[in-house]
Amino acid sequence: MYHKGQHALVTTWKFFSYYTTLTNILVGMWAFLSLVQISGVLGEAAHNANAVTAITFYIVTVGIGNYMMFSIKELNLLRKFADLSVHAVVPAMMLIYWLLYIDKASISFKFVHYWMIYPIVYAAYTLMHGVWTGFYPYPFVNVKALGANRVLLNACVMALSVLIGGFLFVGLAKLLSAL
């Protein structure tokens, strides 16, 4: 990822431009807040079944989306370990936690539209800094290569996929709570 002649700050900024990276950080923040039993709004959110379900959904879609769009990559051992950690291990662990410990009866369809905030803010940020810098972290958002109309279509398809996936995920929670 670091290219000769490229400043380390640019490389770091690019690293933190990926949805995968930011979503894994979100999972880490949630885990920390859950463990330290912090009070207030953040503590309440860390233990709210709907918020935890949204975070679980985000990280599970990171794994599914990665392997659907990019398949298994040929990487050296260290990069393969890193790739599997952020795209498979963390999503699987979060899903297992959600399946075993989250009260699914309190999960509601009425919150799914709020789940769109994180991906929409990410998409807006990605497109803004892409236009400004020319760096697009994913090929399907590259306005220079695909044109604005194609990227807008891709964004609509992704948004619809997230919305439908969110409803399916809540439906799964409802099904599991009925068992």
Interval 86-100: pLDDT, tens: 889 999 999 999 999
Q: How far apart are CA 102 and CA 161, in angstroms?
A: 24
pTM score, whole prediction: 0.88
If you ran DSSP here, which 8-state letter would residue 53 be given? H
Q: Which amino acid is at 133?
A: T
Average confidence (pLDDT) over 136-157: 94
Tokens 């233990």 correspond to 47
Lowest mean pLDDT among 30-34, 61-65, 68-72, 138-142: 68-72
Average pLDDT over the chain, rounded to whole?
A: 90
| Both structure tokens of 111 | 């919150």
- Which of the pair, 76 or 121, is modelled with greater confidence? 121
For residue 1, pLDDT over 80 is answered with: no
Query: Do residues 14 and 21 make contact, with C-beta atoms less than 8 angstroms apart?
Result: no
Predicted pLDDT of residue 4: 58
pLDDT(2) > 50:
no
For range 75-88, the mean pLDDT:
81
Q: Report the pLDDT averaged over residues 5-17.
A: 81
The pLDDT of 125-148, averaged and rounded, is 92
The lowest-confidence range among 36-50, 68-82, 89-103, 122-136 is 68-82
Rounded CA separation 4/154 (Å): 32
- Distance between CA 117 and CA 51 in Å, rounded? 12
Rounded to whole angstroms, how far apart are CA atoms 175 and 75? 39
* Contact criterion met (CB below 8 Å) for 35 and 97: no
